[in-house]
Chain A
Amino acid sequence: MASIQQLLIGAALIALLGVGETLVIVTRNVDLSVGSIVGLSAYIVGDLFKYHHNMPVVLGFVVAIAVGAAIGAINGFVTTVARVPSLVVTLAMLYVVRGVDGLIVNGKTIDPGSIPKAFTAVGYRTLFGIPWLAIIVAVVVATAGYAMRSFRSSRDLYGIGSNPDAAVLAGIPAGRRVFTAFLISGSLAGLAGALFLALHAQIDVSGGTGYELAVVAAVVVGGVAIFGGSGTVLGAALGAVLLNTINQALVASRISAFWNGAIAGGLLLAAIAFDRWLSLRVARSLQSAEGAHRDL
């Protein structure tokens, strides 16, 4: 039981970030700024609690999400209005946001004593044995998963990713949709920042460093095509759980934990190779079943 709780907690943050990243990658873009957003929003909330210890816990989450949303809006605005490749924009924002974080942090650390118990409780308390953290992430995954299946605006994201030009010709407001995807990705990264703080109960300038590539890896392992157009939020979340489970399994078994990285890398390569093999197979069977209609 305890080890399953460990699994869920470990995977939760990456899975949460994976939801936003999926929305963005499905539109044939990428968001590399999420790790820096986690660090900045976590520190800002921690700093607020330090000086306003009686601030309501909910306000901490609201502030974190607002910080993330603001950065997501910048990402989305520059990407869609200036029509600049999102990889470059969000890579630049990775540096800018981490730099702003450094200005605010200024070498300090927020320690557990500054953060109210009611806030850190989100990080360790459980409901029917399920960690609160995992419940929050599961709700986000379920909501986003439902929306991505059933809402017209969400289906537009797949259309944009499959063929951007055709999507525009078909009347999809591509710019607005891509902007929204970045806005949501930023907001969820902000939420992840608040959860990061609740989980670790302390934060310095390095919080969330390197998360961006871990998230992209989890999303790709979860079956989201890196060039857009296909993939599900649930898949991305499962990708995060899978990578994290391997992590934990190695710790539990006798194999040295030093094997973690190598196995995660090998798994990622296997996942994309398998995905490629599957799509080739599907393409071949579509060719042989000429004229057959498929609901894809």
Chain B
Amino acid sequence: MTSDLPTMTPVKHSHSVVENGNGAPWRALLRWENALVVVLIGALVFGSSESPNFLNPTNFFYIGMNMGEVAIMALPLTLVIMTGEIDLSVASMLGLSGTVMGYLFSNGWSIWLAMAAALVVGVLGGALNGVLVAKVGLPSIAVTIGTLALFRGIAEILLAPRTVTGFPSSLTTIGVVPIQGTQIAYSAAIFLGLAVVAGIVLHATPLGRALVAIGLQPEAAQFSGIRVNRIKIWLFVLSGVVCAFAGILLTLKNASVSYDAGTGLELNVVAIVLFGGVSIFGGRGTVIGVVLAVAIVGALQQALTQMNVQPEVQNIVIGVLLLISVVIPNGGEAIRRIRDRARRHA
């Protein structure tokens, strides 16, 4: 079923046009991650040309605070997309987790128990996705659009139309103050920590290589002894629990929660992962690329916000970056094809 996907475009779709160690040094630019570094520097230069205070540490705190939850959700999604699957329920899980936490807290549970329950909900929701995809064999894009509606719907049943507030201030300050003595937001620090773990797992462990193998060719991975289905189930569970964790962080940051927290964020998360160079067909991508994509989007959003550009208009930047990120690696190929055709007709 999902193994049909890679045939959509043969493997020509590649972000690293030229692999390492291939002659001229300028070719290194063609590696997607290096191009992202250039774009990031460009974004920072652009930001500081618009506002002299842009490179202020406080500004980095704001970027970290604004991007934290989306960035954290992007990490497990990176691993999921590496295997050729997708999880569109991430933002609904974030909302459901915050809702469960708020609902239980407002019913007199201790805040710690409420948070633990939210994480359990993340595990269960992720397991539901995983079982439907890996055991029942349903396409993950359809399953997770379904659970997107389902999770948000359950949150609505639990909490709508209420908004829960009154969380202990000792916890809610975590979301809005930097780590003591630095200008790093807590959620940004958590993201970076998780990114290191994800990077090591993906790029330096047998499990990570297994994810790549599954993404490139699920049948071959199965025949070479990789437990494809079991790995996929656990990936969805991981995605669920990490998104639930992001939901807890968002709730604490806002010091309030309603059932519609984070509605529509799923496509932002997907866009960041793809912009980071992860192939939608699986098997190709790096965690560092995703981290760079988070930094670029965060920096650009901060710069545009300081220029008073409306959030809707800021969408253009994300969209164009995403478009460029897939068109350029395929552009040379396309031009060659068109030229060949013109020659044949001549």
Q: How far is the CA of A101 from the CA of B323 in the complex (A)?
A: 18
Given contacts A262-B149, A265-B149, contact A89 B326 (CB under 8 A): yes
Does A99 make an interface contact (CB < 8 A)? yes
**Chain A hits for B322, CB < 8 A:** 88, 91-92, 95
Which of B8-16, B26-34, B237-245 is found at the contact surface with chain A?
B8-16
A12-44 residues with Cβ-Cβ distance < 8 A to B are 28-30, 32
A220 to B144: give the CA distance in the assembly, Å: 12
Please give me the residue from chain A that is nearest to B161 by CB atom: A258
- Residues of A close to B263: CB separation below 8 A: 210
B156 x A227 contact (CB < 8 A): no
Q: What 0/1 pattern do residues 172 to 201 of A give for CB contact below 8 A with B?
A: 000000000000000000000000000000
**Nearest B residue to A79 by beta-carbon distance?**
B9
Q: Note all chain A residues with C-beta closer than 8 A to B12.
A: 83
Interface-side segment among B223-231, B247-255, B309-317: B309-317
Instruction: Check if A107 is an interface residue, CB within 8 A of chain B.
Output: yes
- State which of B142, B320, B334 has its C-beta within 8 Å of the C-beta of A272: B142
Could you give 27 example pairs across A and B, Cβ below 8 Å?
A: A29-B8, A30-B141, A82-B331, A84-B13, A85-B13, A88-B322, A88-B326, A89-B323, A91-B322, A92-B318, A92-B322, A96-B323, A99-B313, A102-B312, A164-B8, A210-B264, A216-B145, A217-B145, A258-B156, A259-B153, A259-B157, A261-B153, A263-B153, A265-B152, A268-B142, A268-B145, A272-B146
Among A82, A103, A266, which residue has its beta carbon within 8 angstroms of that of B327? A82
CB distance from B318 to the nearest CB of A (A): 5
Q: Closest 3 CB pairs between A and B?
A: A102-B312, A262-B153, A261-B153
Once the chains bind, are B319 and A95 in contact (CB under 8 Å)? yes
Chain A residue total in the interface (Cβ 8 A): 56
Q: Is B1 an interface residue (CB 8 A)?
A: yes
Min CB gap A187→B, angstroms = 21
**Are B271 and A95 interface neighbours, CB within 8 A?**
yes
Q: Which parts of A68-102 form the interface with B (CB within 8 Å)?
A: 78, 81-85, 87-89, 91-102
Instruction: Find out whether the CB atom of A205 lies under 8 angstroms from the CB atom of B312.
Output: yes
Q: Nearest-CB distance from B220 to chain A (Å)? A: 19
> Contact string, A228-260, partner B, CB cutoff 8 A, digits 1/0?
000000000000000000000000000010111
B316-A100 in contact (CB<8A) = yes
Q: Which residue of A lies closest to B158 (CB)?
A: A258
CA distance A259 to B160 in the complex (A): 10
Which B residues, 190 to 238, have Cβ-Cβ distances below 8 Å to chain A?
none
Contact of A103 among B4, B7, B313 (CB under 8 A): B313
Asked if residues A272 and B152 are in contact (CB atoms below 8 Å), the reply is no
* A133 touches B (CB below 8 Å): no
Contacts of A147 in B (CB 8 A): none
Q: Spell out A's residues near B (CB within 8 Å).
A: 28-30, 32, 78, 81-85, 87-89, 91-103, 105-107, 163-165, 205, 209-210, 213, 216-217, 220, 226-227, 256, 258-266, 268-269, 272-273, 276
| Nearest-CB residue, chain B, relative to A213 | B145
Cβ–Cβ contact A99 & B7, under 8 A? no
- In whole Å, how far is A251's beta carbon from the nearest beta carbon of chain B? 14
Task: Report yes or no: A84 in contact with B157, Cβ–Cβ below 8 A.
Answer: no
* Chain B residues with CB below 8 A from A93, complex form: 319, 323
> Are B137 and A276 in contact, with the CB atoms below 8 A?
yes
User: Which residues of chain A come closer than 8 Å to B338, judged between CB atoms?
Assistant: 81
Residues of B within 8 A of A91 (CB): 267, 270-271, 274, 322
Q: How far is the CA of A88 from the CA of B278 in the complex (A)?
A: 11
Min Cβ gap A277→B in Å is 9
Which residues of chain A come closer than 8 Å to B9, judged between CB atoms? 83-85
Report how far A81 CA is from B326 CA in the complex, Å. Answer: 12
Minimal beta-carbon separation of B255 from chain A (angstroms): 24
Interfacial chain A residues near B323, Cβ < 8 Å: 78, 89, 92-93, 96
CB atoms of B150 and A265 under 8 A apart: yes
A102: B residues at CB distance < 8 A: 310-313, 315-316
Minimal Cβ-Cβ distance residue in B for A165: B7
B103 at the interface (CB under 8 A from A): no
Min CB gap B206→A, angstroms:
29
B281 within 8 A of A: yes
Expressed in whole angstroms, the Cα–Cα distance for A264 and B147 within the complex equals: 10
Shortest Cβ distance from A101 into chain B, in angstroms?
7
Cβ of B272 to closest chain A Cβ, rounded Å: 11
Note all chain B residues with C-beta closer than 8 A to A268.
142, 145-146, 149-150
CA A264 to CA B153, docked complex, whole Å: 8
Cross-interface CB contact of A213 among B1, B88, B143, cutoff 8 Å: B88
Give the Cβ gap from A1 to chain B, nearest Cβ, in Å.
30
Q: B271 and A217: CB pair below 8 A? A: no
Give the docked Cα–Cα distance between A99 and B323 (Å).
14
B127 close to chain A: CB less than 8 A:
no
